Amino acid sequence: MFDLSVSMAAGEVVVRTADNRGFSVEEVADMAVDKILFVAEDAPAPIRDQARDFKEVMRQVIVQHLKVAVDHDRATICAKLRGAGYPELANNLRSL
């Protein structure tokens, strides 16, 4: 006869929405760091504090790189619009 004990904990499900807009760079960065690094509340205080500090540094790095990605994507779209004969639309998009 076998004794089998199985213990499972359901993972946390988080739903985020934005009303009449897309997510901001900061919101996406928050989602990324929450997926990358989990800080347990019951971790020893020095480790928990260090992990939270590291998580904030990671967030700042991700925000910085996402902003660069958005700028470059917008520049690419503007160049394609100009190439397609829509310079005014490209200028309006670039000024956002």
Residue 41, judged by CB atoms within 10 A of its CB (0-12, 13-18, 19+), counts as: exposed
Extract the tokens encoding 10: 């359901």
Tell me what pLDDT residue 54 has.
Answer: 97
Query: How distant, in Å, are the alpha carbons of 6, 57, 58 from that of 49?
Result: 33, 13, 14
Alpha carbon 42 to its chain's center = 25
Q: Inform me whether the pLDDT recorded for 81 exceeds 80.
A: yes
pLDDT digits (tens, 9 = 90+) for 16-36: 888 899 999 999 999 999 999
CB atoms within 10 A of CB 21: 6
Instruction: Read off the pLDDT of each residue in 67-82 and give the average, rounded to a whole number.
Output: 96
pTM (two decimals): 0.77
Q: Angle, to 10 degrees, between the axis of helix 45-83 and the axis of helix 87-94?
A: 160
- Tell me the C-alpha distance between 71 and 78, whole Å: 10
Instruction: Read off the pLDDT of each residue in 30-46 and give the average, rounded to a whole number.
Output: 93
Tell me what pLDDT residue 16 has.
Answer: 87
